[in-house]
Structure 1
Amino acid sequence: MPSNLIVADLLLNLHLSEGRDPYPLVRLVQVPAAFRPAWLRRLFLTCASAKLLPASLEIWEALRGEDHDEAVLNCAAEIMALGGDRQQAAALYQASLAKDPRQNPVRRRLGELLSPTRPDSDLLASSTLNIYLYSYNKAQFLGDTLDSLARCDLGPAKIKVLLNGCTDDSLAVTEKAKERFPNNPLDILALPINIGAPAARNWLIAQPETRQADHTVFLDDDVLLQPDFLHHFLTAAKSRPHCGVVGCKVLFPGRFPRYQYLYRNVAIARPGILRISLDTPNTQFDNGLYDFVRDTANVMGCCHLFTRQALTDAPTFDLCFSPSQMDDIAHDFDLALRGFDVVYCGLVGCVHRQMTGNIASDTHKAAKLGNVLGNDVKFYYRFQDSLDRLFALGRDAGPEGLADHPSSMARPPEGMA
């Protein structure tokens, strides 16, 4: 049934989710003339979302001259940027903003295209830096993370790995990884029990090296890193005199990665309710739209950098959120309430391979769900006396909500319509 566009549309989504090039599917589809413009639009959005440059450019030529909506213009802008034509990319984003000026990320991305951020690689050599990891029984993931870290430019950074009561091969994996870091001392702290994520972070912060270093990086044990991530983080930190923490764009693994976590701000803060904005536009693929630097209220804790002053003024993650969930958000809020800048650097992409909060696949999902819901309640009461100040932070960050995560797919993601 080569003319069944409903099935063809489903196959496009299936190809993307399975990491297969969706464009060869076009050769099999016989599009009725009346549906050709809509099919081309759908196909372009799919290929552009997957950053398939040759296919996207070919389809874009067939779409030229039409009056396109914002979703098409946004995807076309990123395809032009991917191909090196920043001027055309900026023009397309300007056309998109003319249609809907509420698209905050589009405005920020346009600013990045017009005035690109230049990472300063020299900052790494002139900075003292710690890289801290903690892990619990993820030997294979931990080994992959350390291999990824070894491929990064680390300068003179010192590395510490806290093994949180591991009973698997994590210690042997970490010992073997030392040979991958001939220029960076790697120390191992092997604890006899699992003390949870907040306490593990605090244990590492309490190390003497933390007070001696300009910056400290925390990494989860299941991330894959961009080789120059420290260049970007240090540049972003230097650009703000009151920087407390810098985080990045976090992605699901896969050939065509989807957004897992970007940045969050305070959406509602009043007696009885505290809500933060969406972490991502749901199910959207990383096409480059969020490649910019901005101030925010929270970045994800799987890959972030702290300044020394931030860890001096806010030296602990709250143990009330043990064993995990919400402690990194609360710590970012603590920093923001103390006047520190929380910075999102979308020029860095970090692949996060396993979400501890994904209760759907956990054999103890009911118990874990109870912990997550309990931490939500704790989170509200922890900041109950700061709701007005948190709400002011949200206003300072600019309009948030749906307009801060516009859809660049053919159909609006769930929850975004």
Structure 2
Amino acid sequence: MRPNAKGRRAAHARALLTAVQDADPDVQGVGYFQRLVERREGEKLLDFLEGRLARNAAPFWLHQAWHFGRFAAREGWLAAHVATHAAAGPVRDFVRAECAFGSGDHEAALSALAAFLQEGEMAGWQRPRLLAAESLRRLGRREEAVRLFAAVLGQRPWDAGLWRTLHDLALDVDRARAALPGSLAVCLYSWNKAEPLAGTLEALLPAVSGAHGSGAHGSGVHGAGDVLVVLLDNGSTDETPEVARAFADRMGERFASVRLPVNVGAAGARNWLSALPQVMARDFVCFLDDDALLPPDAFGLLGAAVATHPEAFVWGAKVVDAAAPQIVQHAGQHLLLDEEGFRVDNPQAREPDRGRLDMLAPCTTVTGCCHLFRAAELRAGGGFDIRLSPSQYDDLERDVRRGIQGGFAVCQGHLAVRHLKSSGAASRVERAAAANAAGNRLKLQALHPAAEVARLIAADLRRQEDDLAAKATRLAATLPELTPALKTLEALTALEEPWTR
């Protein structure tokens, strides 16, 4: 990023807000609104937006209602509080389609989008067509989805994400399952979360009970063969020991537990687990959060990621909110650098999940909620930095450290891990967690100088461009109608200052 870019963005934002305030005095409530967003108080936020729109359906508040209503995905909410302010026509149709999509009614979404799929002026609206294509995909109408995605891509040849997601759909990458090439230890650590831990272990059972896959696109549960589940009880004072004993009885020799007298934090727990002889005797180690729910074919999907990118140092997943799976908490991430240091780009925070992150692709970092290593990598690459205890960013720091040393991560975006978000936490606990996170961000910046991170970002960009070029070439060979779009893409990436930057 060029110097002062952040300052220019801030100046533009201030100018925009001033203009909006001049046009709409009711926007003065934005301070309270922002506090609701920061506190993640969804119910109050939606109630607040309803009240604002009832008094004054100004563009500012319509935009906020559109954004947060899509994340909430309440059936009828968008239609009742946004579409009612739009004249009958394409905007209202699109809002209704978003509402239906968010509630899982993809047939209704397609019905609302019908006009966008016919010849004429509305066929030029590409975002509704993308939504229709994703509805087709989720209905299992893959060939129709591929054709519509390809038609949109022909009009958007610069859309790197669309090239990748369409590549994986058209070439059945999303269907690929493979056995992990070796034995596996699934490692969890927990502190006073007995109830979600029990749910995590319950969901894990079918994932670790599957047979080895016999083909690239086989059916059933694949990828988990010789598996050991290891739980570290991080000094819990609740029913965690009882949960551990119950699953030891059910799993027998495939389950082991360690109980510590105190909470050593996330980094210390990962390091402790990594040092256990029975863990290091395995070929692969998967760290899994104690409130993460795996699908039955999780290790088949991770096995496919290993088979596709065996040289990566870590393989991760797309992590979604368990209660609202249209909210993606984490996916494959990259770094940005400005005058204040480096930060993680979070594109998933800008849009609810519409399938655009469903790709198997290299990245800089994946979340520690569910990430897979070779045991040899954990030995060679060093552990997790305990200076970032009790939690926050120790997984990111290790990925950055290994990236600076020349490695890269891979996100298996076709694996959706449901994450149980904690609720009802006291505000003082949230403030303490936020303070810890802020402190660890400062430590993270100090651990890795900007010059090293700049080289990492440049290497990641080259890797992204190479990955995109290879996938676009394969996709155009499969779908010849994309040949003109491929030529445009090649021309764009050949520019002296690549468009991807």
Give your verdict on TM over 0.5: yes
Question: What are the residue-to-residue correspondences of 1:227-266 with 2, within 5 Å?
Answer: 227-254=296-323, 256-266=325-335
Higher RCO structure, 1 or 2 (CA under 8 Å, sep 6+):
1
Say whether residues 1:340 and 2:407 are aligned partners.
yes
Instruction: Return the structure number with greater strand share.
Output: 1
Say whether residues 1:329 and 2:418 are aligned partners.
no
Over 3 Å counting, the alpha-carbon distance change for 1:395 and 1:120 in structure 2 is closer
Q: 1:178 aligns with which of 204, 227, 248?
A: 248
Over 3 Å counting, the alpha-carbon distance change for 1:106 and 1:151 in structure 2 is same
Say whether residues 1:38 and 2:94 are aligned partners.
no
1:140 counterpart SS class: helix
Q: 1:58 aligns with which of 111, 120, 123?
A: 111
Alignment-derived partner of residue 359 in structure 2: 292
Say whether residues 1:84 and 2:143 are aligned partners.
no
Deviations 1:252-303 (A, max 9, x none): 122553111112112226xx54323422432633232211100000011001
Question: What are the residue-to-residue correspondences of 1:66-105 with 2, within 5 Å?
Answer: 66-105=122-161
Deviations 1:127-164 (A, max 9, x none): 20000000011111111111111132343200110011
Q: 1:382 aligns with which of 447, 468, 478?
A: 447
Give yes or no for contact 1:321–1:375 (8 Å, CA) kept in 2. Answer: yes
Give yes or no for contact 1:250–1:352 (8 Å, CA) kept in 2. Answer: yes
Give yes or no for contact 1:359–1:369 (8 Å, CA) kept in 2. Answer: no
User: Take 2:65 and 2:403, find their aligned partners in 1: how far apart are those partners?
Assistant: 45
Give yes or no for contact 2:179–2:300 (8 Å, CA) kept in 1. Answer: yes
User: Take 1:227 and 1:336, find their aligned partners in 2: how far apart are those partners?
Assistant: 31
User: Take 1:344 and 1:354, find their aligned partners in 2: how far apart are those partners?
Assistant: 21
Alignment-derived partner of residue 158 in structure 1: 228
User: Take 1:220 and 1:341, find their aligned partners in 2: how far apart are those partners?
Assistant: 22
Say whether residues 1:146 and 2:201 are aligned partners.
yes
Of residues 295-304 and 85-94 in structure 1, the stretch that sits farther from structure 2 once superposed is: 85-94
Over 3 Å counting, the alpha-carbon distance change for 1:197 and 1:88 in structure 2 is same
User: Take 1:306 and 1:50, find their aligned partners in 2: how far apart are those partners?
Assistant: 36
* Structure 1 residue 193, shift from structure 2 partner: 0.3
Say whether residues 1:111 and 2:111 are aligned partners.
no
Give TM-score scaled by structure 2 length. 0.70
Instruction: Return the structure number with greater helix share.
Output: 2
User: Take 1:47 and 1:247, find their aligned partners in 2: how far apart are those partners?
Assistant: 30
User: Take 1:118 and 1:71, find their aligned partners in 2: how far apart are those partners?
Assistant: 22
User: Take 1:72 and 1:353, find their aligned partners in 2: how far apart are those partners?
Assistant: 31
Say whether residues 1:168 and 2:224 are aligned partners.
no
Alignment-derived partner of residue 135 in structure 1: 190
Over 3 Å counting, the alpha-carbon distance change for 1:363 and 1:31 in structure 2 is closer
Say whether residues 1:268 and 2:337 are aligned partners.
yes
* Structure 1 residue 21, shift from structure 2 partner: 3.5
Give yes or no for contact 2:179–2:225 (8 Å, CA) kept in 1. Answer: no
* Structure 1 residue 198, shift from structure 2 partner: 0.3
Of residues 67-76 and 233-242 in structure 1, the stretch that sits farther from structure 2 once superposed is: 67-76
User: Take 2:310 and 2:414, find their aligned partners in 1: how far apart are those partners?
Assistant: 20
Query: One-letter code of the match for 2:441?
Result: D
User: Take 2:424 and 2:336, find their aligned partners in 1: how far apart are those partners?
Assistant: 25
Alignment-derived partner of residue 22 in structure 1: 76
* Structure 1 residue 172, shift from structure 2 partner: 0.5
* Structure 1 residue 374, shift from structure 2 partner: 1.4
Give yes or no for contact 1:260–1:280 (8 Å, CA) kept in 2. Answer: no
Query: One-letter code of the match for 1:110?
Result: L
Give yes or no for contact 2:342–2:453 (8 Å, CA) kept in 1. Answer: no
User: Take 1:30 and 1:322, find their aligned partners in 2: how far apart are those partners?
Assistant: 49
User: Take 2:254 and 2:382, find their aligned partners in 1: how far apart are those partners?
Assistant: 24
User: Take 1:132 and 1:70, find their aligned partners in 2: how far apart are those partners?
Assistant: 44
Give yes or no for contact 1:164–1:195 (8 Å, CA) kept in 2. Answer: yes
Give yes or no for contact 1:292–1:347 (8 Å, CA) kept in 2. Answer: yes
Give yes or no for contact 2:73–2:103 (8 Å, CA) kept in 1. Answer: no
Over 3 Å counting, the alpha-carbon distance change for 1:93 and 1:119 in structure 2 is closer
**What is the aligned length?**
389
Query: One-letter code of the match for 1:77?
Result: A
Structure 2: gaps of 5 or more residues: 1-53, 211-223, 466-501
Structure 1: gaps of 5 or more residues: 400-417
User: Take 1:72 and 1:292, find their aligned partners in 2: how far apart are those partners?
Assistant: 21
Query: One-letter code of the match for 1:101?
Result: P
- The alignment yields a C-alpha RMSD, in angstroms, of 3.2
Deviations 1:183-233 (A, max 9, x none): x61111000000010010000011113332111000000111111010010
Give yes or no for contact 2:70–2:352 (8 Å, CA) kept in 1. Answer: no
Question: What's the % identity of the aligned pairs?
Answer: 26
Over 3 Å counting, the alpha-carbon distance change for 1:254 and 1:214 in structure 2 is same
2:247 counterpart SS class: helix
Instruction: Please tell me whether Structure 1 or Structure 2 has the larger radius of gyration of its CA atoms.
Output: 2
Give yes or no for contact 1:263–1:279 (8 Å, CA) kept in 2. Answer: no
User: Take 1:37 and 1:387, find their aligned partners in 2: how far apart are those partners?
Assistant: 45
Over 3 Å counting, the alpha-carbon distance change for 1:171 and 1:297 in structure 2 is same
Q: 1:221 aligns with which of 266, 290, 299?
A: 290
1:217 counterpart SS class: strand
